[in-house]
Amino acid sequence: MNETRPTKSGWIEVVVGPMYSGKTEELIRRLRRAQIARQRVEIFKPSIDVRYGADHIVSHSELRIPSRLVPTATDILAHADEAEVIGIDEGQFLGPELPRVANTLADQGKRVIVAGLDQDYRGLPFEPMPQLLAIAEYITKTLAICMVCGEPAGRTQKHRAEGGRVVVGGAGLYEARCRRCHTVPVEDRAGGQAQAKPAAPPVQEIA
Ligand SMILES: [Zn+2]
């Protein structure tokens, strides 16, 4: 237990939404404020995400903050001992252990802030973010702007059926869409939680 704050409890904050909704920007904003308050901050992102270089997390608006690459959530535990605040970006790529790891860190009295996609491009829950949302103390849903109609957008549209569920960044491959304008490629309309399962039978669309 950190003797400088003996009675302080930890907690989990989750920031979720579609692509281009400002999740990373919000994560960086919270982490910057913690740094200004002279709290010890450690920041992690999955090693699958090397869009803007390996040693920073960077928002679409070009805010950036130094971070450490980790292959899975359990790798965070080895680098978190000294931290009071833990920032994690792109949580949906860190594997099924992320909720357990976040719980462990919060139980140690740390503030854990995780940003990530809550839905995949089909509009289905993107594990392990649903499990993380269930155990978080604080949840923020960020909305983007629908690129078709201009309404608030909670979903991510994929233009081409390539790369399965996990394609990082991909300029021009994704855009934010509202519920009404969001469409799923016919070959992907099925299978509930099926991940990267080819040739799933199409299901009837609910009109
Ligand atoms: Zn729309």
Q: What is the CATH number of the domain that holds 85?
A: 3.40.50.300
Q: What is the mean pLDDT of residues 116-130?
A: 95
**Does any domain span residue 173?**
no
- Write the secondary structure of 152-168 as one string of H (helix), E (strand) and C (coil): EECEEEECCCCCCCCCC
Residue 26 in tokens: 């919000």
**Does any domain span residue 96?**
yes
pLDDT in tens, 2-40: 445 545 799 999 999 999 999 999 999 999 999 999 999
Query: What are the angstrom distances between the C-alpha of 74 and each of 2, 25, 100, 103, 185?
Result: 21, 24, 9, 12, 34
pLDDT in tens, 95-110: 999 999 999 999 999 9
Please identify which residue in the block is written with the tokens 């799933």. Answer: 200
Compute the distance from residue 158 Cα to the ligand 1 centre, in Å. 14
Q: What is the mean pLDDT of residues 102-120?
A: 97
Q: Higher model confidence: residue 163 or residue 124? A: 124
Collect residues with CB below 5 Å from ion ligand 1: 146, 148-149, 151, 178, 181
pLDDT over 70 (residue 167): no
CA distance 113 to 14: 6
pLDDT band at 64 (very low <50, low <70, confident <90, very high): confident
- Structural domain count, the chain: 1
pLDDT over 90 (residue 151): yes
- Can you give the residue range of the structural domain that contains 98? 11-142
**Does any domain span residue 6?**
no
Please list the active-site residues: 90
CA distance 134 to 117: 15
**Does any domain span residue 174?**
no
**Does any domain span residue 84?**
yes
Please identify which residue in the block is written with the tokens 């979720």. Answer: 16
Residue 56: per-residue pLDDT: 75
Compute the distance from residue 11 Cα to the ligand 1 centre, in Å. 35
Residue 8: per-residue pLDDT: 78
Tell if the pTM clears 0.85, that is, is over it: no
Residue 1: per-residue pLDDT: 46
**Does any domain span residue 183?**
no
CA distance 101 to 66: 21
Compute the distance from residue 180 Cα to the ligand 1 centre, in Å. 6
Compute the distance from residue 170 Cα to the ligand 1 centre, in Å. 21
Please identify which residue in the block is written with the tokens 């989990």. Answer: 12
Q: What is the mean pLDDT of residues 157-179?
A: 74
